[in-house]
Each structure stands twice: as structure tokens, then as C-alpha cells.
Amino acid sequence: PEPGPLKGRHILVTSGPTREPIDPVRYIANHSSGKQGHAIAAAAAAAGARVTLVSGPVRLDDPDGVDVVHIETAREMLAACEAALPADAAVFAAAVADWRVARDAGQKIKKTGDGPPALALVENPDILATISRSISRPPLVIGFAAETEHVLDHAKAKLKRKGCDLIVANDVSPESGVMGGERNRVHLVSAAGVESWPDLSKDEVARRLVARIAAQLGEGA
């Protein structure tokens, strides 16, 4: 077979939700299925790359030919991403929990007569922003933006705030069916402007994004 366009490249991908413990039996998470992130990892492997996929808990099989690191929390995801560097490109498709419970109760929290417990939250590390600004920053860093309103405005703000080269913005309001579903409609937001793709299967979004990565790395990104 022809050598793929990403032969000799190492691509890091994150996928799925993270799961932040409240106590030994409860957690905070979200509806990400990992379908979009796993499809990107599979497409990059099909294009000949060595792929490291750092995944939160999902029901999907590990994609063929991909090194998968299974993690649960945002802090574990950050550590696994840092351990995977250097990479030629990184794609952050995971739906990372922005907050975790400040103090993980060692034992199951019991109902008391005093009403429900108050959960104090603290911010999780921002993996995309941390790696975008690290000394081992991959030459091409791609983030996602999951929004339920003002999709493009919020995505443009994230492009700047997180220091990445490209944001893939998608509408995750429940009516869109994107989280957990098979299809996605994305907008590519970069310094060059906005490029909107039609409604596509997540596999097709992944193939097109991988073609874009190969083109940008070929130009010396």
C-alpha cells in the first residue's frame, strides 16, 4: 500500500468524558460518547500516523492500530497527555469536566437529617491551554468548542484564550443530537477565519480533519 499522508507522524488525540469522583460510588460526568474523538484517532491511524488516544470512560472498542491510554479524571488525562509528548499534532476532542469536587469523600456520603450536602467545586486543569503553552507544545494544536449558544463567538474567544491553532466548534444543544450521536456539523475557526462544514458523519468529519492536519504539517506547521 501507499505510505499514508501522516506516515512518520505522532498524533495525540483526547476523547470521551472525564469522570470526577464525589465519593466512592458517585461522580460528575457528561454525555460525551467518545465517538468523535475515537473517529479522529482511527482516521489518523488509517493515514499512517502513530496515534496516542487518551480516553475517558466510553463504551467504544479501542480503535485498531492506536495506542489507547484509559483514564478517568481530568488530572489523569493531563498527566497522560504530557507523558505522550512529543507529538506533531494534538487534537483535544474530549469533554473534560471543568470542575471537580474539592474534597473527594473517602466514604459514601450518607443522608442526614440536616438536608442535602453542599459540594464545593474547584477548577480542573485546562489540558488544551496547558499543552498549548508548554515548552513541548506540538507544532499543530487543535481544540474543540462545545457550545449551546453563540457558537462562533464563543469559539473565537476560546481560540485566543486557549492558545491553539484551530478550534472545531460544534453545537451540543440537545436538539442537535451531537453528543452521543453519529453525526456532527462543525465550524473550523482559526486566525484565517471561519469555515463551516455541512452536516456529516463523525467518521467523515474525522477524515476531513485528518486531511487538514496532513496538509498543515506538510506546509511545515
Task: Detail the residues annotated as belonging to a binding site.
Answer: 98, 108, 125-128, 144, 158, 162
Interface with ligand PMT, residue 33, by CB under 6 A: yes
Could you identify the residue written with the cell 487543535? 142
Interface with ligand PMT, residue 20, by CB under 6 A: no
Instruction: Give the range of 43-51, 103-111, 178-186, 192-200 binding ligand PMT by CB under 6 A.
Output: 178-186
Contact between residue 3 and residue 83 where contact means Cβ atoms under 8 Å apart: no
- Helices (H) and strands (E) counted in the chain, each on its own, are 5, 14
Binding residues for ligand PMT restricted to 41-60, rule: CB under 6 A: none
DSSP SS3 for 99 = strand
Beta bridge pairs of residue 169: 145, 187
Could you identify the residue written with the cell 488516544? 53
First CA to last CA distance, the chain: 26
- Write the DSSP assignment of 142-167 as a string of letters: EEEEEESSSHHHHHHHHHHHHT-SEE
Binding mask 124-163 for ligand PMT (x = CB under 6 A): x-xxx--------------xxxx-----------x---x-
Instruction: Give the range of 1-9, 31-39, 64-72, 105-113 binding ligand PMT by CB under 6 A.
Output: 31-39
For the bound state, the minimum distance from the C-beta of residue 114 to ligand PMT, rounded and expressed in Å, comes to: 32
> Identity (one letter) of the amino acid at 171?
D
Rg (CA), the chain: 18
Interface with ligand PMT, residue 27, by CB under 6 A: no
Report the residue from 72, 82, 98, 204 that binds ligand PMT according to the rule CB under 6 A: 98
As annotated, the active-site residues are 30
Return residues touching ligand PMT (CB under 6 A).
14, 32-37, 74, 92-96, 98, 124, 126-128, 143-146, 158, 162, 170, 172, 178-180, 202
